[in-house]
Structure 1
Amino acid sequence: MTATTLAPAKSRAPFSAMTPVRYLFALLIVGVTVAPLLFVILGGFRTNAQINTDPAGLPSPWVFSNYANILASESFWRFLGNSALISISSTAIAVGLGSMAAFALSRYRFKGREALYSMFTIGLLFPLGVAILPVYLLLRQLHLLESWVGVALPQAAFALPVTIIILRPFMAAIPTEIEDAAVVDGATRLGFFWRILLPLSRPALVTVSVLAFITSWNGYLLPLLVFNDPANFTLPLGVATFQSQYAQDTASILAFTALSIVPALVFFIFAERHIVGGLTGSVKG
């Protein structure tokens, strides 16, 4: 007689009276977040007459000329290129300097280390809007107005605090035994940083890169003060300019706005998995 073993039943999360409330709250958040985005995207496929007749309706028929006209516009691609140049440069500077600073603050012990780290923490309390006037005066003295560098550098500087705060605990959580083994194998401190620590910190690096990129991409106030020439405008400024020029063409404005959202949205969707891992690792560290 052979004995049969029963597979243990899978444990299920207990159902409580608050479960429907949680699901309802989650659906409410999703609706509030997604509904405006869908309105903008679908509005670009409608005519102005359709929007005036039924603002919340679906396209009937679907109109593709609004998106086609904007994609064929030279100004849209110029705005897109300016935003990409500034955002990529700002992100590279913030992540590059932030990772090196986080490495020193997490792996080295020196006098004033915690005070220096606290200074970066306090930097979170000062958004760019608070210091916009001193930043503008400094950029004017450095002759960086009407230059993409005058936007990328301040945005990178204000992205450093959150970059260091996320990276430092993540790097500190990496066992010292790995570093000792690398030193025994002949690796220098800099070699350990480039070849071992940075690859192991990839989730956190992706997290801070996405945060810095999206913050720079959506920046409006600093480019507004730095740029006066429309040829240098970024996409947020381009959207505002397009709205003022075509104030009566609501459908085209919605199409232009939707296309300006797409790059940052796609970038965020592909990196979302790494964002969760990076934030989880930084909290555990």
Structure 2
Amino acid sequence: MTRNILRVTLLLIVASFVLAPMIATILGGFKTNAEIRTNALGLPAMWNTEFYGQIITDPAFWRYLRNSMIISVGSVVLTLIVGAAAAYVFAQIRFFGSRMLFSYILLGLMFPFATAILPLFIKVRDIGLLDTWWAVILPQTAFSLSLAILLFRTFFAQLPKELFEAAYIDGCGYVRFFWRFTLPLSAPILATVGVFVFVQSWNNFLLPLVVLNSRDVFTWPLGMMQFRGEYVTQWNLTLAFVTLTIVPAIVFFLAAQKYIVAGLTGGAVKG
């Protein structure tokens, strides 16, 4: 009994550190700038929805949200398709140099994204993709592939070999087996990688800052900078903006969480 009380207390303390900044951000959207300075963590003296209303009625907010959604979904789709296909080859097909090539791909996990930002900018500029969605989607996909391939390969290697042998006897080749059997059984890992890539892309600030110049293609982290002036920062509008923009990421995570549970139960293979 005592151990359970200590465990619950510890979990509540950890949860408070996680939830406190989020709650302060949500409440900050109802306060004036003066109240944020004097009472950042407390309840607002007056629940003023004007600041949230300004954000919602601003066409720029929906434009930033659209751009972030297109870039994030595009990054997820490309990473899942390319990462799963490459990992399937490493997991199911043995060829000369496969282990060396796989190790070379994993080297991408050792390099921070910021170290390659200048070469990325030069390459994106040279191929004419600067100031487009693809200028963000393609580099994000490339940097997400190392971890995605590692996770996919580990999962694919655990699939029963008997399943592929039975399909091969029936005339099913590698490509058909990948689309008809491997991917349907891989719902948990697909959802896991998808959530990771989506959240990473949704919150990416450095890459869009470097390769996007027009407000028409700005993502929401760049759009948030419009509330920062030379001398004054509109913190109430900024916090309301941030609160509204994290809603899609939370919805995507909750939807994927249900999908992971469904995949774990529906993708089981009986021996």
Question: Is 1:229 aligned to 2:214, yes or no?
Answer: yes
1:251 to 233, 236, 245: 236
Counterpart code for 1:269: L
Identity of aligned residues (%): 43
Matched AA of 1:70: I
Which AA in structure 2 matches 1:203? P
Q: For the Cα contact (< 8 Å) 1:207–1:274, is it kept in 2?
A: no
CA distance in structure 1 between the partners assigned to 2:134 and 2:85 by the alignment: 21
Q: What 5-or-longer segments of structure 1 have no aligned partner?
A: 1-14
Is the counterpart of residue 159 in structure 1 residue 156 in structure 2?
Answer: no
User: Is residue 45–residue 251 contact of structure 1 (8 Å, CA) maintained in 2?
Assistant: yes
Q: 8 Å contact 1:246–1:253 — kept in the other structure?
A: no
Residue 171 (structure 1) aligns with:
156
Per-residue CA deviations over 1:48-97 (Å, capped at 9, x if unaligned) read 34334422211333222211111110100110111111111111111110
Residue of 153, 175, 181 corresponding to 1:196: 181
CA distance in 2, matches of 1:53, 1:235: 28
What's the secondary structure of 2:96's corresponding residue? Answer: coil
CA contact (8 A) 2:29 2:237 kept: yes
Gap change, CA 1:53 and 1:175, over 3 Å in 2: same
Residue 217 in 1 paired to residue 202 in 2?
A: yes
Residue range with higher mean Cα deviation, 118-127 or 153-162: 118-127
1:30 aligns with 2:36: no
Aligned length in residues: 265
Distance 1:96 1:229 in 2: 30
Cα distance in structure 1, aligned partners of 2:111 and 2:257:
26
1:141 CA drift (Å): 1.0
Q: Amino acid of the residue matched to residue 51 of structure 1?
A: I
Cα 1:108/1:57, change in 2 over 3 Å: same
C-alpha separation between the residues in 1 aligned to 2:19 and 2:261?
Answer: 20
Cα distance between partner residues in 2 of 1:260 and 1:114: 42
The 5 Å alignment of 1:41-60 reads 41-60=26-45
CA RMSD, Structure 1 to Structure 2 (Å): 2.3
**2:201 match: secondary structure:** helix
Question: Which residue type is aligned with residue 30 of structure 1?
Answer: A
Distance, in Å, in 2 between the alignment partners of 1:272 and 1:81 is 23
| Unpaired stretches in structure 2, ≥5 consecutive residues | none
